[in-house]
Each structure stands twice: as structure tokens, then as C-alpha cells.
């Protein structure tokens, strides 16, 4: 048995029943799920995906609404630029591809918000093509099982794709199955913390396991703390704008953060990013919001 075959057998018996994996899911549904899942856990994506697909069953439906509605619908999934790019992506698909999600990898990669992972994921899972699909789960599984390292180092796209290519069966359909199986394995068994090795189909062949599961050595790279960052301030500002039923006066936004310099920087950042627009002289709205001018 190859690693891919083991993984597929395990997947067939243990895969989660996720809505975007249903056979009747459209390529658009797959694309939406992939974008929502970028850095966001499955449990938070599921309800958001259902709501999104109900409101906008096609790219054309989303493209017909302003980006502000996409940003609102995104809610608290995080990284709201993804909502904006998904909207831009829908507009681009209407313009370039007649409202269809393209099946060609290069055309996918040319869309806003679609990078190396997402493009290959859609080409593979929505269209059944044969491409290595490498996300953080796959990188960790390959790193441990094949290379014997406790965890994947920094992403090296070309090398990561080549490593996964080595493990991929020849048949496109089976290769797609292998990719989703590796991802699922990394998500629920070969996890970053406390991997469930006794439940792993690779337990007897995993290079890391055979080496005694050595821990990661050296100090872990420091992560940026969230509290007090511009990101937090942007989040607070956007939260107010999402709930707005009209233009939000500057004075209202001033309440979310006391540091004026940082507050101004965060707001101008949101405007530069295209998430927020000035409205009149001293108010702001989500990009694309068109409120009636208030009359006294």
C-alpha cells in the first residue's frame, strides 16, 4: 500500500460530512468554502457557508450586489478583505468567464483572492483535475510522515508542491481523493498539537513516529500579539460599519479606540484597502453602500 492508498482508505472511513463535499456542490460552492476556510476553522465556516450560498447561489448573484453586502455577510469570520476579494472575484468571473468558475488553473490563479492553494483546490475538488494541493495540513503530514520532521518549516511553495506530487497517484480522480485525504488527516489526526498517532493510518510507516516522535527544537518563532494592534482597531471600526444602516459619522468611529493616531491609521488603511469609503465630509460607509441622503 502506498501512502496515498492508505490515506484514501482512512478517509473513506473517517471523513467528516462537510456540506461543500456533497457531490451536488457547485464549483462556486467549492470556491466559497475554500476562501472561507483560509485561516478560519471549519466549525465557524459551516453556518457562514450555508448562509452565503443561500443568498448568492451563483457568482452572478453576488456580483449584482455591492461589496458592502458581502462584507456584512462575512460577519465575524475574520480577514474581511477575503469578502471583498470574493466579491471582486465574482465580478471578474462574470466579466471574463460568463459567470462560471473557470476550470483552467491559470485562469483561476488570475482571480482576486485566489492563490496557489485555492486555485489548485478548486481545479482539483470542483473539476477533478490532477494537481498537487498543498495546505498547512498537507505540509505537516508530509513533513512528519515522509521527512521525519516534527513539523513543517516555513512554506516553500515549489518544493512543497514537488513533495506532494511525488505522492500523487496517476489517475486524476484518485489523486484528488488522495489530496483531500491528506488534508483531512492533518486536520483531525496529524494535528499541530497532540497528534493522535494511534488513530493514524501512517502509524507504522511514519518517519517521525519511527524516529521516536522527537519534539521541535529551538525557540518557536514569536507571533505578533493581537491586542493593541492596528488589526484590532480595524476590526472594531469595521464592526461598527457592518451594523450601520446609514453613513457613520466620524465621531461615532472615534469611540472605538482612544489613541487618535492609531485610530486614524487604521481607518485610512481600511479606505486604502477598499473596504471602507468616505461619505460626505465627515462620515464613512462600507465600500459600495449607497444610502439615501438624509433629509431633515
Partner DNA sequence: GAAACGTGGAC
Partner DNA sequence: TGTCCAAGTTT
- Residue from 17, 193, 243, 296 that binds DNA (CB under 7 A)? 193
68 to 127, contacts with DNA by CB under 7 A? 76-81, 85, 112-119, 121
- Residue from 1, 9, 192, 210 that binds DNA (CB under 7 A)? 192
Span of 38-46, 96-104, 255-263, 286-294 interacting with DNA by CB under 7 A: 38-46
Q: How far is the CB of 116 from DNA (least distance, A)?
A: 4
- Known catalytic membership, residue 34: yes
- Interaction between residue 44 and DNA (CB under 7 A): yes
- Interaction between residue 156 and DNA (CB under 7 A): yes
Secondary structure of the chain in HEC code, one letter for each residue: CCHHHHHHHHHHHHCCCCHHHCCCCCHHHHHHHHHHCCCCCHHHHHHHHHHHHHHCCCHHHHHCCCHHHHHHHHCCCCCCHHHHHHHHHHHHHHHHHCCCCCCCHHHHHCCCCCCHHHHHHHHHHCCCCCCCCCCHHHHHHHHHHCCCCCCCCCCCHHHHHHHHHHHCCCCHHHHHHHHHHHHHHHHHCCCCCCCCHHHCCCCCCCHHHHCCCCCCCCCCCCCCCCCCCHHHHHHHHHHHHHHCCCCEEHHHHHHHCCCHHHHHHHHHHHHHHCCEEEECCCEEEECCCCCCCCCC
- Residue from 6, 69, 160, 184 that binds DNA (CB under 7 A)? 184
242 to 281, contacts with DNA by CB under 7 A? 269
- Residue from 25, 33, 58, 283 that binds DNA (CB under 7 A)? 33
Tell me whether residue 102 or residue 119 sits nearer to DNA (CB atom): 119
Query: Looking at 5, 34, 46, 217, which residue is catalytic?
Result: 34
For DNA, the binding residues (CB under 7 A) are 18, 20-21, 33-34, 37-44, 76-81, 85, 112-119, 121, 135-137, 140, 154-156, 183-184, 186-187, 191-194, 220, 222-226, 229-232, 234-236, 238-239, 269
Which residues are identified as catalytic? 34
Amino acid at each position: 500500500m502506498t501512502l496515498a492508498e492508505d490515506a484514501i482508505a482512512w478517509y473513506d472511513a473517517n471523513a467528516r460530512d462537510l456540506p461543500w463535499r456533497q457531490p451536488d456542490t457547485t464549483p462556486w460552492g467549492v470556491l466559497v468554502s475554500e476562501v472561507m476556510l483560509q485561516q478560519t476553522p471549519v466549525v465557524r465556516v459551516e453556518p457562514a457557508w450555508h448562509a452565503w450560498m443561500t443568498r448568492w447561489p451563483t457568482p452572478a448573484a453576488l456580483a449584482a450586489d455591492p461589496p458592502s453586502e458581502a462584507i456584512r455577510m462575512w460577519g465575524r469570520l475574520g480577514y474581511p478583505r477575503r469578502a471583498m476579494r470574493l466579491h471582486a472575484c465574482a465580478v471578474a468571473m462574470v466579466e471574463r468567464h460568463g459567470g462560471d468558475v473557470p476550470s483552467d488553473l491559470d485562469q483561476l490563479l488570475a482571480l482576486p483572492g485566489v492563490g496557489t492553494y485555492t486555485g489548485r483546490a478548486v481545479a482539483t475538488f470542483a473539476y477533478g483535475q490532477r494537481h498537487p494541493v498543498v495546505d498547512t495540513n498537507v505540509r505537516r503530514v508530509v513533513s512528519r510522515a515522509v521527512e521525519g520532521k516534527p513539523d513543517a518549516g516555513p512554506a516553500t511553495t515549489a518544493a512543497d508542491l514537488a513533495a506532494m506530487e511525488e505522492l500523487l497517484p496517476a489517475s486524476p480522480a484518485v489523486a484528488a481523493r488522495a489530496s483531500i485525504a491528506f488534508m483531512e488527516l492533518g486536520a483531525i489526526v496529524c494535528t499541530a498539537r497532540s497528534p493522535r498517532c494511534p488513530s493514524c493510518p501512517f502509524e507504522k510507516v511514519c518517519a517521525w513516529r519511527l524516529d521516536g516522535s522527537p519534539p521541535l527544537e529551538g525557540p518557536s518563532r514569536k507571533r505578533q500579539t493581537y491586542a493593541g494592534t492596528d488589526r484590532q482597531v480595524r476590526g472594531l471600526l469595521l464592526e461598527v460599519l457592518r451594523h450601520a444602516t446609514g453613513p457613520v459619522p466620524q465621531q461615532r468611529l472615534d469611540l472605538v479606540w482612544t489613541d487618535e493616531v492609531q485610530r486614524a491609521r487604521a481607518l485610512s488603511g481600511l479606505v486604502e484597502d477598499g473596504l471602507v469609503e468616505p461619505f460626505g465630509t465627515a462620515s464613512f460607509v462600507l465600500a459600495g453602500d449607497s444610502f439615501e441622503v438624509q433629509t431633515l
